[in-house]
Structure 1
Amino acid sequence: MTLVEPIPAGDFAVATTKDSVRIERLLPGPIERVWSYLTEQEKRRRWMAAGVVEMQEGGVVCHVFDNSRLTSRDDHPPAKYAALDGPVKSHGIVTACEAPRLLAYTFSEESGEPSEVRFDLSESGSQVLLVVTHTRIPNRAAMLSFTAGWHTHLDILRDRLEGREPELFWPKHTRLEEEYGSRIPII
């Protein structure tokens, strides 16, 4: 049996409305370093997704998620997410870009009713506060999945920035999705 580290209470996301969630992470700076992990494909692929993000309003976003290969030890999604085993593309349009403090874009344009993700960065001494706000989430199941996903991805980002090997994506996501099911009220 593998022991799992308890999740710090401050790391949990909060639902701000029935279709929005907000999650924060205090990360090692400087701000330009964290910005590069949001905007540079090779760095972003190490914690979230590869693909192009054109850094201007109206620019194209094409994320290529491969959550089963974010760590040095491959893992596979649970049956519920079997369709996500391997590269999965998500498209969007940049809605705001103010380097190195703000990046926002639509998410999953291919769904017909895209949501929107916003990354706000601010300096806090030698650290950087990263706030991710995901809005226009279509339903509770998507909210639980996205929230567990952001939580897991941001923990991987923090581990990468601190030089640690992250926990496997899918086992952590599964645990967190269940936890968020009890934390996020039905609004």
Structure 2
Amino acid sequence: MLAVIEKVEGGYVARYDRPLKHSVEKVWAALTENDKLAKWMSNLQVEELRKGGTIKFDMKDGSGSFIDMEILDFQEYSVLEYEWGKDRVRFELYPKPDGCLLVLKEFISTLTDHTSKDLSGWHVCMDVLSALLEGRYMEFPKGEWEKWHEKYKLAVKEMQIIEYDS
């Protein structure tokens, strides 16, 4: 299911809701433990897991360059929010009787040509994370990303039209 994109004060928010048949603790580990994180978002590495701490983004461009991203909000087993370029990303976990609900929000200040790429990337990363939690390792599926990218390009374009008409 496509993320819901909404206009909010100061920009936009894209929200992905993923019901998972796994405990909050297991999903939290996948979000915060580097050995598990590397299997679904290989660019990220947690340095200091606390509010004000750092997550490093490996550019993976052969330069050895990393971008330090500050952890803006942290509540163990519940909330992890950090910088994402000029924007921010927030993971929220809600316990449910049969597992948990993972909510991923990307707060976007301005819609750009890159927005649809980010959104389709997060969409596919959530699929890869779900597979990992099920015990299946999955390479990043470029073909799936391309399919979702087309859908997110349309969704972003619709938001831009709405904004223009307002």
1:15 is aligned to 5
Distance 1:116 1:16 in 2: 15
Q: 2:79 aligns with which of 82, 102, 115?
A: 102
Per the alignment, residue 118 of structure 1 pairs with: 90
Task: Label 1:157 to 1:65 Cα distance change in 2 as closer, same or farther (>3 A).
Answer: farther
- Structure 1 39/23 Cα, relative in aligned 2: closer, same or farther at 3 Å? same
Taking the TM superposition and a 5 Å limit, the aligned residue runs for 1:9-158 are 11-17=1-7, 18-49=11-42, 50-64=44-58, 89-108=66-85, 114-158=86-130
Q: Measured at CA, do residues 174 and 101 of structure 1 come closer, stay the same or move farther in structure 2, by a change above 3 Å?
A: same
Q: Which aligned segments of 4 or more residues in structure 1 are displaced greater than 4 angstroms?
A: 84-88
> Identity across aligned pairs (percent)?
25
Q: Counterpart of 1:154 in structure 2: which amino acid?
A: M
- Report if the CA contact (8 A) 2:125-2:140 is conserved: no
Contact between 1:90 and 1:107, CA under 8 Å: does it hold in 2? no
Q: Give distance in 2, aligned partners of 1:171 and 1:122.
A: 31
1:43 and 1:167, CA in 2 relative to 1: closer, same or farther beyond 3 A? closer
Cα–Cα, structure 1 residues 151 and 177, in superposed 2: closer, same or farther, change >3 Å? same
Shift of 1:127: 1.5
Cα RMSD (Å) of the superposition? Answer: 2.2
Structure 1 distance, partners of 2:106, 2:98, is: 26
Conserved? CA contact 1:20–1:134, under 8 Å: yes
Paired residue type of 1:59: G
| TM-score normalised to structure 1 length | 0.74
Q: In structure 2, how many angstroms separate the alpha carbons of the residues matched to 1:171 and 1:88?
A: 27
Deviations 1:78-101 (A, max 9, x none): xxxxxx689874431011100100
